[in-house]
A and B are shown apart, each in its own frame.
Chain A
Amino acid sequence: MPPPSTMARPSRQPDYVRFSPTTPIVIDNGGSIFRIGWAGESDPRVSFRNVVQRPRHKASGETVTIVGDNDPALMKYFDCTRTSHRSPFDANVVYQFENMEYILDYGFERLGATSQVDHPILMTECIRNPLNSRSKMAELLFETYGVPSIAFGVDAVFSYKLNQQLGRCNEEGLAVCSGFSTSHVIPIVKGEPVAEACCRTNIGGFHVTDYLKQLLSLKYPHHISNITWEKSEELKMEHCYVALDFASELQLFQKGNEIAKEKTRCWQLPWVPPTQAEIPSEEELARRAALKEKQGQRLRDMAAARKSLRITELENELNSLEDLLQQIDEVEEPEVLSVLSGTKYFSRQELESAILRVTQSLRKAKGEPLEPEEKTDVPLSEKYPLVSVPDDILSPEQLKEKKRQIFLKTTSEGRLLAKRKRIEEEAMRERQNQLEEEKRLENPELYLEQLHIKYRELCEKIESRKRFKTNGNQNVSGGVGRGERLSAAQKERMRLLTSAAFDRGKGEDTFGARDEDWQLYKLMSKDNDDDDNGQEEDEAELARLTCRLQDIDPNFIPKPDLVQLQATTAEFPKFRPQTAEDFQIVLDVERFRCPEVLFQPNMIGIDQAGLDEMTGISLRRLSFDDSMKDEITKSIFVTGGNALLPGLLPRLEAGIRQIRPYLSPLKVVRAYDPILDAWRGAAVYANSPLFSSQTLSIQDYFEKGEDLLRQYNIKYTI
């Protein structure tokens, strides 16, 4: 079978009218492929994938119906985002008859039907099709298409009958049909299937392909978009095989020797190596450097211009302020306010302080060293004259000024205090260092020893605290992950909670009588990180010790896990350029692991017997004696799409041999064409002159309805 994606679109048959109304139309309604053609012909006229898609046409916005597979190039005109391929089948039973109708529409249309489908129809169905499905199908064919008569038969049996005619199998035999969604084993006695002895497992080619697709997309998450259903189907047909002995084949691959390497297949995804960035030439480098230099120069020029502008601005301001000061000096005291009224200053002091400020910023702009900011010789009372004056003799404006002065005073005092403290601390550290240095000079070995001991103690302390919090896991966040135990801190908290609840329930409640009782809540609180400050101090001390040790001890190596705990929490794979190997999809174990689900459905969670065991079950269900069973096993016939998997027949034979008694006859044959033989057999069957005796007519249907279909049972030997 050609892969569905490359299958050409069937063309409309021109010779529909040539056939007489008695010629039956034969339909093989398979789980994956729908085939339709004329009875008596050797091949179906039209076959396509049994799916419907109803996308929206982008240009016109209307929903259209597309049956089967299409040229992907044409799908760009349709919006397929909200639709996907839909099949009318649930397992091997038709259940969505709206989709079935689209498919039949398309089938008849391609066959060339013009005015009416006035031909008898032979359609395949699964064995023991539920009545609901069969009657709905009959209803559809009779009432919508006006078909004169229909017959339903089982595909595997048609295939068997055809191969019986070809001489590949006997009148008594076992049809093993592994299809798209199900696998059947049907015993055939005297040319008729024995329905009560047949056996079905809900596993088929779909599961094999799906398993392959899922495995590959899990193995190669980066190429998930390339691993489509169609491609997996193609890979399955090209590379998959059934292992004769699954366990030994696995071991072969597990050892990974030469034979396994030979059996490995590789699918190279389209990949273009990235164009190497060429090494820039000497001139190019020089050009770039010049460009950079030019840009830098521009920036520098800009900065210089800004600086000179600022300097001139400040100078202007200073000049004007000095002028103002002079004016004030010249005039009498009472007129000062009138002079100052045009400016934002209210007094001489303010003006002076502004001048001072401007001078300082001018110095700064020019890059000269600053003068000491605080002139200590100015007494505080002079600087902030209003602070000590009582409120009630001040005007509102002065009150405001007083507030400002109080604020300025307190901040400057605070600043002074902090400065003094800083100096003191520095002095103390200096003293400490000196002391240590003295100690070191006194007895270097002892000092080093002590330092090391101290370092180790601190390390342990910090580490134990960390372990207490994270339970020794690398889980720094402190949360309890999936399957992780509670950390010691969390455990302690749980213990407190439970014991508190337990104790409170009985006896006299004296909780709260003592002050210590209330400490319990502090311990219980979730963010019980009480000693976080201590931890920080410890860490700072540790860093200091590490520095010192590194300074004086050449052999000292700091503990890496503590120093760079954050850096090593996650290991990042090193970046490397991509190669063609990164775009390869390697099929090794998958080649036989996927088809193995036919024999071990348990692998994908379907709790049913596999193909080889099914034959045993089917034979057990047969109510014949052993000689008949021996007769049947002489002609085990394998059909259906999975029969094309290489190695399936030998495996099946080996499996059945294990079930059957020692030295009992066994012969396994494959259908002449496992894919098309069902349709061909049906076409041969429908061509026989007695076919009409096996059909249901439209008159009977309208007369008797569903009952007719319940009793209907096709005879294959006519």
Chain B
Amino acid sequence: MEPEVVSSEMVLPAALPFKRVQMSDKYPKGQSRGRHWKHLKQIVQAENYSSLPAHEPNYLNIESPPSMYPSKKYCDITGFEAPYTDPRTSLRYANPGVFKRIRGLPDDQIQRYLTLRNAAIVLR
């Protein structure tokens, strides 16, 4: 290791004296580890909240419901309020100037704009 890297102490030592089980013992080198963790979705599923009484608060049911108010539509490009939607790209736009720009946009940019508000078509 380079001296400045060592002196900055940025690299975590492989073995630490205060640990009972070292990292290298827990995850031996060369062995395929596979995936030993669950995503939050899987964690929540495994908790089996539906079997618990409904009035008891848990991670899932404290989540806030959708807004009661109708969602406003904003222009995807400029952020202004958007009265129009382009039927071809389904992007929202505020005025004809923006419309012109939308029509000139490449496909990947259109998809990225749609992804921003979680409206892109995901092909699987």
Q: Which residues of A contact B (CB under 8 A)?
A: 9, 12, 57, 59-60, 64-67, 70-71, 74, 77, 90-91, 93, 95-98, 101-102, 105-106, 108-109, 113-117, 126-133, 143-146, 195-196, 198-202, 211, 214-215, 218, 221, 247, 250, 253-254, 482-483, 589-590, 593, 600-610, 613-614, 617
Are B9 and A215 neighbours in the complex by a CB distance under 8 Å?
no
Distance in angstroms between the alpha carbons of A77 and B1 in the assembled complex: 9
20 contacts between A and B (CB under 8 A): A59-B1, A74-B10, A77-B1, A90-B39, A91-B40, A93-B43, A97-B37, A98-B27, A108-B18, A113-B16, A144-B26, A146-B20, A198-B57, A218-B112, A218-B113, A602-B67, A603-B117, A608-B64, A609-B67, A613-B64
Distance in angstroms between the alpha carbons of A381 and B55 in the assembled complex: 117
Are A114 and B18 neighbours in the complex by a CB distance under 8 Å?
yes
Chain B residue contacts of A117, Cβ below 8 A: 18
Within the complex, what minimum Cβ distance (angstroms) separates B1 from chain A?
A: 7
Distance in angstroms between the alpha carbons of A604 and B116 in the assembled complex: 6
Closest to A198 in B: B62
Most chain A CB within a 10 A radius of its CB, from B13, B18, B55, B119: B18
Are A130 and B21 neighbours in the complex by a CB distance under 8 Å?
no
Distance in angstroms between the alpha carbons of A59 and B78 in the assembled complex: 48
Distance in angstroms between the alpha carbons of A126 and B62 in the assembled complex: 12
Question: 7 additional contacts, CB 8 Å, given A109-B12, A195-B57?
Answer: A70-B10, A71-B10, A93-B43, A98-B27, A98-B37, A102-B12, A614-B64
Pick the residue among A91, A132, A218, A254 that contacts B47 (CB under 8 A).
A132
Distance in angstroms between the alpha carbons of A146 and B36 in the assembled complex: 22
Chain B residue contacts of A201, Cβ below 8 A: 63-64
Are A145 and B19 neighbours in the complex by a CB distance under 8 Å?
yes
Are A95 and B18 neighbours in the complex by a CB distance under 8 Å?
no
Are A604 and B109 neighbours in the complex by a CB distance under 8 Å?
no
Chain B residue contacts of A129, Cβ below 8 A: 59
Pick the residue among A77, A128, A202 that contacts B2 (CB under 8 A).
A77
Closest to B47 in A: A130
Q: Does B74 lie at the interface of the complex (its beta carbon under 8 Å from any beta carbon of A)?
A: yes
Chain B residue contacts of A600, Cβ below 8 A: 67, 71-72
Within the complex, what minimum Cβ distance (angstroms) separates B19 from chain A?
A: 6
Distance in angstroms between the alpha carbons of A603 and B81 in the assembled complex: 11
Are B66 and A95 neighbours in the complex by a CB distance under 8 Å?
no
Within the complex, what minimum Cβ distance (angstroms) separates B23 from chain A?
A: 7
Chain B residue contacts of A64, Cβ below 8 A: 11-12
Chain B residue contacts of A250, Cβ below 8 A: 79-81
Chain B residue contacts of A590, Cβ below 8 A: 79
Closest to A608 in B: B64
Are B116 and A130 neighbours in the complex by a CB distance under 8 Å?
no
Are A196 and B56 neighbours in the complex by a CB distance under 8 Å?
yes
Within the complex, what minimum Cβ distance (angstroms) separates B112 from chain A?
A: 6
Pick the residue among B1, B21, B72, B94 that contacts A60 (CB under 8 A).
B1
Closest to B88 in A: A483
Chain A residue contacts of B57, Cβ below 8 A: 128, 195-196, 198
Q: Does B17 lie at the interface of the complex (its beta carbon under 8 Å from any beta carbon of A)?
A: yes
Most chain A CB within a 10 A radius of its CB, from B38, B40, B64, B116: B64
Closest to A616 in B: B68
Q: With A130-B43, A218-B112 in contact, do A605 and B118 touch (Cβ < 8 Å)?
A: yes
Q: With A59-B1, A145-B19, A603-B74 in contact, do A131 and B116 touch (Cβ < 8 Å)?
A: no
Distance in angstroms between the alpha carbons of A146 and B107 in the assembled complex: 55
Contact with A along B75-104 (1 / 0, CB 8 A): 000111100000110000010000000000
Q: With A59-B2, A65-B11 in contact, do A610 and B67 touch (Cβ < 8 Å)?
A: yes
Are A130 and B20 neighbours in the complex by a CB distance under 8 Å?
no
Distance in angstroms between the alpha carbons of A77 and B4 in the assembled complex: 10
Pick the residue among B19, B58, B117 that contacts A604 (CB under 8 A).
B117
Distance in angstroms between the alpha carbons of A613 and B13 in the assembled complex: 47
Q: With A57-B1, A98-B37, A214-B112 in contact, do A607 and B78 touch (Cβ < 8 Å)?
A: no
Are A253 and B80 neighbours in the complex by a CB distance under 8 Å?
yes
Are B79 and A617 neighbours in the complex by a CB distance under 8 Å?
no
Pick the residue among B21, B55, B66, B119 that contacts A196 (CB under 8 A).
B55
Chain A residue contacts of B119, Cβ below 8 A: 605
Distance in angstroms between the alpha carbons of A211 and B76 in the assembled complex: 12
Closest to B81 in A: A250
Chain B residue contacts of A127, Cβ below 8 A: 62
Pick the residue among A102, A108, A132, A218 that contacts B38 (CB under 8 A).
A132
Distance in angstroms between the alpha carbons of A57 and B55 in the assembled complex: 53
Pick the residue among B23, B37, B113 that contacts A95 (CB under 8 A).
B37
Distance in angstroms between the alpha carbons of A145 and B66 in the assembled complex: 42
Are B94 and A254 neighbours in the complex by a CB distance under 8 Å?
yes
Distance in angstroms between the alpha carbons of A701 and B116 in the assembled complex: 45
Closest to A96 in B: B37
Within the complex, what minimum Cβ distance (angstroms) separates A236 from chain B?
A: 16
Q: Does B123 lie at the interface of the complex (its beta carbon under 8 Å from any beta carbon of A)?
A: no
Within the complex, what minimum Cβ distance (angstroms) separates A133 from chain B?
A: 6
Chain A residue contacts of B27, Cβ below 8 A: 98
Give the 8 A-B CB pairs with smallest separation, nearest first: A605-B118, A90-B40, A602-B71, A589-B79, A65-B12, A113-B18, A195-B57, A483-B88
Distance in angstroms between the alpha carbons of A605 and B11 in the assembled complex: 39
Most chain B CB within a 10 A radius of its CB, from A12, A97, A196, A253: A196
Are B116 and A66 neighbours in the complex by a CB distance under 8 Å?
no
Chain B residue contacts of A200, Cβ below 8 A: 62-64
Q: Does B30 lie at the interface of the complex (its beta carbon under 8 Å from any beta carbon of A)?
A: no
Chain B residue contacts of A253, Cβ below 8 A: 80
Chain A residue contacts of B65, Cβ below 8 A: 608-609, 617
Closest to A57 in B: B1
Chain A residue contacts of B37, Cβ below 8 A: 95-98
Are A202 and B80 neighbours in the complex by a CB distance under 8 Å?
no
Distance in angstroms between the alpha carbons of A379 and B18 in the assembled complex: 114
Distance in angstroms between the alpha carbons of A607 and B64 in the assembled complex: 9
Closest to A144 in B: B21
Within the complex, what minimum Cβ distance (angstroms) separates A31 from chain B?
A: 13
Q: Does B121 lie at the interface of the complex (its beta carbon under 8 Å from any beta carbon of A)?
A: no
Are A105 and B16 neighbours in the complex by a CB distance under 8 Å?
yes
Are A109 and B1 neighbours in the complex by a CB distance under 8 Å?
no
Are A609 and B118 neighbours in the complex by a CB distance under 8 Å?
no
Distance in angstroms between the alpha carbons of A131 and B49 in the assembled complex: 11
Within the complex, what minimum Cβ distance (angstroms) separates B106 from chain A?
A: 10
